[in-house]
Amino acid sequence: MDAQTRTYLQHITTFFAERNIPAYLVGGSVRDLLLARPCKDWDIALPGETPAIARQLANTLGGFFAHMNDKACRITLHRADGSNMMLDISPWRGSSIEEDLHARDFTLNAIAIALPELLTCLEEGAPLNLIDPLYGRVDLEAHTLRVVSEHALRDDPLRILRAIRFSIEHELRIEPHTASLLKRDASLLSTVAVERIHDELYAILRFPNVTQHLRLLDDYGIFTTLIPEFLPARGMPQPSLHHWDVFEHSLETPYYLQTLEQLLEASPQELRTSPLTQGDSNDLVDLQALLQEAEQQDIFHLDTLSQPEVKLATLLHDIGKTVTYEVDEEGNIHFYHHPQAGVPLVQSILSRLGSNTADRRLAQLVAAHHMRPGQLSHDNVTPRAIRRYFVDLGPTGILVALVALADHLAMRGPLPLTEAWGLHLATVRLLCERYIRVRDSILPPRLLQADELMHRLELKPGPIVGQLLEAIAEAQAEGIVRSKQDALWLASEKLEEQREPM
């Protein structure tokens, strides 16, 4: 514990002692002390109402006071190094600190120490004099997660998600009875406010090995409670090129996106010898260089692939397959128009999970367009196709292209890659090259604005104006139109074609 933190704790202890208020350090703060981990958020429990006394403490310490909810308050203290120290002040749940501990979630969070005792132990270098009625320290040392009571999860169902987060964050084994309660009460998550669900789910998604954690959620019935749209995906077969069914493929795709991110952070030599490199192709090396240029231009950053919203969008990329599954007379499986069908499903899911507008938009773009790079790889990629791709997606097209590669890898799984992989990778490299290096040639500045076009051609506002502007832009990208006069000529020709009788 650094000197400034200790000084703050001394002031806090003195403040409560002068007012004869028994104050206890509880929960995660005590857990972090026992684990010898740095603690920035200090949880303090008091008897009675806390807002008035917490505000006085904030004024005494020169901190910023805020209500967290009806009962708890937060004080933010600014430290000399520019960081913040948080004090979360909450009332006892019950008439004593022991009752409060019995009302908490897990035994390793149901440990307390009186603030004066804490300072004495620190000054004397003595063992912490803990209040630990539920033997939380024993569970902590045994890396075991255990609920404090039979009804702990029902008292606050968000604890179901917190159990998973704690088990991941602290590498804990969920003991059998707690595991059975998680499965029993998983359905209660549907009663929790979406904002709270969002925060816990995104915290889980921030950890590496996301597919492993998604499977853990599924083991306890949590995954399909949160996203019931995946229920029909389990066991839903796919065409023969796919190794996994729709459900397993969806869970595996974020893993392959993580694998791709790690690979693109490797050395060029490692890329050349990667199993993902076919023959003497340098496409992976070239793609790595292009993405580095994109980072310098601040239009894409590789670590974006590790963000929760990207992992969630990748997980949902094929959700449209759950409502488009068909088998024709020859027994062939089809998912016609599943990208488009996925868009409203993604909107519904992410609204229910409390995602913001930007995250919902990203996931919708991934669902709608993740097939396009692969489809382009089957044909000669024309300037018009590249332009339309980035007109629709802008810089997000780079991310969607990388998700498309992860989707391809998850399609094959442990099966050998085919020639289609090399074509897909080459197409993604070409898309990125055109956007990153010669963006102005595929998305040139407009030669005409809508108002001038309407004035020069005596047009009224309507869809035709947008259609003409798009036709001009495509002709610019193809080198057919180079001046405003060319643009007006082309627009006039297009307009005349539309006016000609059939």
119 with 198, same domain: the answer is: no
- Taking the C-alpha atoms of residue 288 and residue 4, their distance in angstroms, rounded to an integer, is 44
- Taking the C-alpha atoms of residue 202 and residue 228, their distance in angstroms, rounded to an integer, is 18
Residue 230's pLDDT is what?
A: 98
282 with 327, same domain: the answer is: yes
Q: Is the pLDDT of residue 4 over 70?
A: yes
**CB burial class (10 A; 0-12, 13-18, 19+) of residue 89?**
buried
157 with 286, same domain: the answer is: no
> Which of 95, 114, 134 is the endpoint of a domain?
134
Q: How far are the Cα atoms of 103, 106, 139, 170, 177 from residue 154, in angstroms, in the given order?
A: 12, 13, 22, 23, 15
**Average pLDDT rounded to a whole number, residues 111-132:** 86
pLDDT in tens, 240-268: 999 999 999 999 999 999 999 999 999 99
Amino acid identity, position 178: T
- Structure-token pair, residue 38: 């740095």
Residue 434's pLDDT is what?
A: 94
The number of beta carbons lying within 10 Å of the beta carbon of residue 60 is 13
Q: Is residue 377 part of a domain?
A: yes
- Structure-token pair, residue 62: 């020169």
- Taking the C-alpha atoms of residue 101 and residue 340, their distance in angstroms, rounded to an integer, is 50
126 with 86, same domain: the answer is: yes
Handedness of CA 186, 192, 194, 196 (dihedral sign): negative
104 with 193, same domain: the answer is: no
Quickly state the pLDDT bin for 293 (edges 50, 70, 90): very high
- Taking the C-alpha atoms of residue 235 and residue 144, their distance in angstroms, rounded to an integer, is 33
**Average pLDDT rounded to a whole number, residues 229-241:** 96
Quickly state the pLDDT bin for 363 (edges 50, 70, 90): very high
Q: Is residue 22 part of a domain?
A: yes
Angle at 324 between CA 398 and CA 367, to 5 degrees: 15
> Which of 116, 134, 152 is the endpoint of a domain?
134
Answer whether 233's CB lies under 8 Å from 246's CB: yes
DSSP secondary structure string for all residues of 334-377: EETTHHHHHHHHHHHHHHHTT--HHHHHHHHHHHHHTTHHHHHT
93 with 153, same domain: the answer is: no
Q: Is residue 163 part of a domain?
A: yes
- Taking the C-alpha atoms of residue 181 and residue 257, their distance in angstroms, rounded to an integer, is 33
Please state the three-class secondary structure of 22-38 as a single string. Answer: CCEEECHHHHHHHCCCC
385 with 492, same domain: the answer is: no
- Taking the C-alpha atoms of residue 322 and residue 232, their distance in angstroms, rounded to an integer, is 6
- Taking the C-alpha atoms of residue 339 and residue 364, their distance in angstroms, rounded to an integer, is 9
Residue 181 host element (H or E) = helix 176-185
- Taking the C-alpha atoms of residue 335 and residue 379, their distance in angstroms, rounded to an integer, is 21
167 with 289, same domain: the answer is: no
- Taking the C-alpha atoms of residue 80 and residue 4, their distance in angstroms, rounded to an integer, is 8
How remote is the C-alpha of 395 from its chain's centroid? 18
Q: Is residue 231 part of a domain?
A: no
- Taking the C-alpha atoms of residue 371 and residue 302, their distance in angstroms, rounded to an integer, is 21
How remote is the C-alpha of 260 from its chain's centroid? 17
**Average pLDDT rounded to a whole number, residues 193-217:** 96
Lowest-pLDDT choice from 272-276, 368-372, 472-476: 472-476
Q: Is residue 232 part of a domain?
A: no
Q: Is the pLDDT of residue 189 over 70?
A: yes
- Taking the C-alpha atoms of residue 311 and residue 210, their distance in angstroms, rounded to an integer, is 8
Residue 502's pLDDT is what?
A: 47
Please state, rounded to an integer, the average pLDDT across all residues of the chain.
92
- Structure-token pair, residue 247: 């459900």
> Which of 192, 226, 260 is the endpoint of a domain?
226
Residue 179's pLDDT is what?
A: 98
Number of domains, the chain: 4
Q: Is residue 14 part of a domain?
A: yes
Q: Is residue 122 part of a domain?
A: yes
The position carrying tokens 């995906």 is: 233
Q: How far are the Cα atoms of 224, 368, 421 from residue 246, in angstroms, in the given order?
A: 14, 17, 20
283 with 361, same domain: the answer is: yes
- Taking the C-alpha atoms of residue 41 and residue 112, their distance in angstroms, rounded to an integer, is 15
- Taking the C-alpha atoms of residue 105 and residue 90, their distance in angstroms, rounded to an integer, is 15
Q: Which domain holds residue 148?
A: 143-226
Quickly state the pLDDT bin for 501 (edges 50, 70, 90): low
438 with 313, same domain: the answer is: yes
CATH number of residue 53's parent domain: 3.30.460.10
pLDDT in tens, 394-411: 999 999 999 999 999 999
Residue 493, C-beta contacts closer than 8 angstroms, at least 6 positions apart: none
Give the 3-state secondary structure of residue 480. Answer: coil
CATH number of residue 177's parent domain: 1.10.110.30
**CB burial class (10 A; 0-12, 13-18, 19+) of residue 383?**
middle
How remote is the C-alpha of 351 from its chain's centroid? 14
Q: Is residue 318 part of a domain?
A: yes
194 with 106, same domain: the answer is: no
**Helices 308-315 & 246-264, crossing angle to 10 degrees?**
140
Answer whether 93's CB lies under 8 Å from 110's CB: no
The residue among 121, 127, 109 whose CA lies nearest residue 163 is: 109
pLDDT in tens, 111-120: 999 999 888 8
Residue 458's pLDDT is what?
A: 83
The number of beta carbons lying within 10 Å of the beta carbon of residue 170 is 14
151 with 291, same domain: the answer is: no
